[in-house]
Structure 1
Amino acid sequence: MSLLPRRAPAAFAPVALLLALGSCVARDASLADEARTRMVGLRADDLRLCAGPADKRESSEAGEFWTYDRSPPGGGVSVPVPMAGGSVNLSGGGMCRATFQIVEGRVTRISISGTNELGVARDAACAPVVQGCLRMIREGTIRTD
């Protein structure tokens, strides 16, 4: 006879859910961080192909600046807390502003700034802006050189 329970007690389910949510947020934040270096050198046409048209475009002596403002849909979760007799509401909603400086038709610098309602891994909200581009770079469909 095994001394281990067949199922985890219900009290552990909220902890497991929080760990899973934290893992997703950390992955998305690392995508945004990776984009800051991997997307430098990308052609402007390729940026438009993989990220879509910019929400705002400005020009200056330093080049063009393409800005993407995104509010990804929130994936809210309500986690019961049996010991407290209530629940904790978690929302993955947030806001992203990603700005790409383009000089001579290529991305030269990237500024990524995100916020989220959880207050952790803030740049995770920018993953939807860059994930398609990073995937295409990894596959070799677009290049940065």
Structure 2
Amino acid sequence: MTGDNGSMRASDGDREAVAQRLRAALDEGRLTVAEYDERLQQAFAATTYGELVPITADLPEPTPPKKSKDLVKREKRKRKQIKEWREWGGVAVILCGIWLVTSIASGELGFFWPMIPLGIWAAVILSGLVSGGGGGKSERSGD
């Protein structure tokens, strides 16, 4: 409900937003089932902002739920893994480019040596994934 004018017509989205706020208030124990039902009927019958505002006027703004520590840790670990693979990909492009240029310069395809450092690096990253991503310097120091 973005309008200051109470006579402005409300949309279905505005009524649905009020209904969601009422559901949150019911879940928090701020409304009884009877109050919720009555206000919900008023919300869906409302045609203007002015009719919607009083329905939730005595309810506080809902607070977004805080992320759990486990969820924050998982998100941080996922970002770290994406960064590691992105760095691996960048180095892979550079090493393969060097191999290609040296192969073209020599006139024949040489041994594909980038597979050795890239393979070892990928194995290290994969072992971190399998073991749960622990053991990295940034995780031990809390960065």
**TM norm structure 1:** 0.30
Q: Which has the higher helix share?
A: 2
Q: Which has the higher strand share?
A: 1
Q: Which has the higher contact order (CA 8 A, sep 6+)?
A: 1
